[in-house]
Chain A
Amino acid sequence: AQSVTQPDIHITVSEGASLELRCNYSYGATPYLFWYVQSPGQGLQLLLKYFSGDTLVQGIKGFEAEFKRSQSSFNLRKPSVHWSDAAEYFCAVGAGAAGNKLTFGGGTRVLVKP
């Protein structure tokens, strides 16, 4: 069965500082991996996805994530955080075929200090 763990429930970061959110997955085959962001009152917005190829993927809003098969990880990073990045971030894994379910982690809430 597939599963996703996000070890950090909350992270507080100063504006302008770097951010890294951890994600570990369990999946029997080659995973399709996603990061979503949810701002208050909003839906889940797709930040980036990894299907195959280059293990460092770029997304929207200046985010990137690195797939490390040996560590079963797909960590999200941003070099310099803006106040508007305060939100909840969800990592998800899927089988890859259209119509297949996504399994989500518990989310990490990011607070940005001025």
Chain B
Amino acid sequence: EPEVTQTPSHQVTQMGQEVILRCVPISNHLYFYWYRQILGQKVEFLVSFYNNEISEKSEIFDDQFSVERPDGSNFTLKIRSTKLEDSAMYFCASSPQAAQFFGPGTRLTVL
């Protein structure tokens, strides 16, 4: 059964550094998403992406975040200058329609 994959599974970075989290969505899905879950808190929506454009974003998704589909398979989330409060589990998801399918997540630790 096709799955969403994410790399790396764990990323440790220093505050102020740039990180890129990578996702490979399910191949015939057209809609892509990023969510995050800070330890002990709810899963929060960050952004959705369709047809090479952001279709919806939350107030969390400020100018330090960006998303890109650099080729036909990858979907990336870039955080330009990480802050301590960016430490969280980041989930990628994809969907053919309304039901979203999630990857295993990348745990980002900012020191």
Residues of A within 8 A of B (CB): 32, 34, 36, 41-46, 49, 51, 90, 92, 94, 96-107
The count of chain B contact residues (Cβ–Cβ below 8 Å) is 29
Residues of B within 8 A of A (CB): 4, 6, 30-31, 33, 35, 41-45, 48, 50, 55-56, 58, 91, 93, 95-105
Whether B105 and A100, one on each chain, are in contact in the complex, defined by CB atoms closer than 8 angstroms, is: no
Determine which of A102, A105, A107 lies in contact with B100 in the assembled complex, contact meaning CB atoms within 8 Å: A102
The secondary structure that dominates the B interface is strand
Whether A103 and B45, one on each chain, are in contact in the complex, defined by CB atoms closer than 8 angstroms, is: yes
Q: How far is the CA of A111 from the CA of B100 in the complex (A)?
A: 26
Q: Which B residues lie within 8 Å of A41 (CB)? A: 104
Determine which of B30, B43, B48 lies in contact with A44 in the assembled complex, contact meaning CB atoms within 8 Å: B43
Q: How far is the CB of B95 from chain A (nearest CB, A)?
A: 6
Q: How far is the CA of A94 from the CA of B31 in the complex (A)?
A: 14
With A99-B95, A104-B43 given, can you name 6 additional A-B contacts, CB distance below 8 Å?
Answer: A43-B104, A46-B102, A98-B96, A99-B55, A100-B98, A102-B45
Q: How far is the CA of A49 from the CA of B50 in the complex (A)?
A: 22
Whether A98 and B98, one on each chain, are in contact in the complex, defined by CB atoms closer than 8 angstroms, is: yes
A98-B95, A104-B43, A106-B42 are contacts. A43–B103 as well, Cβ < 8 Å?
A: yes
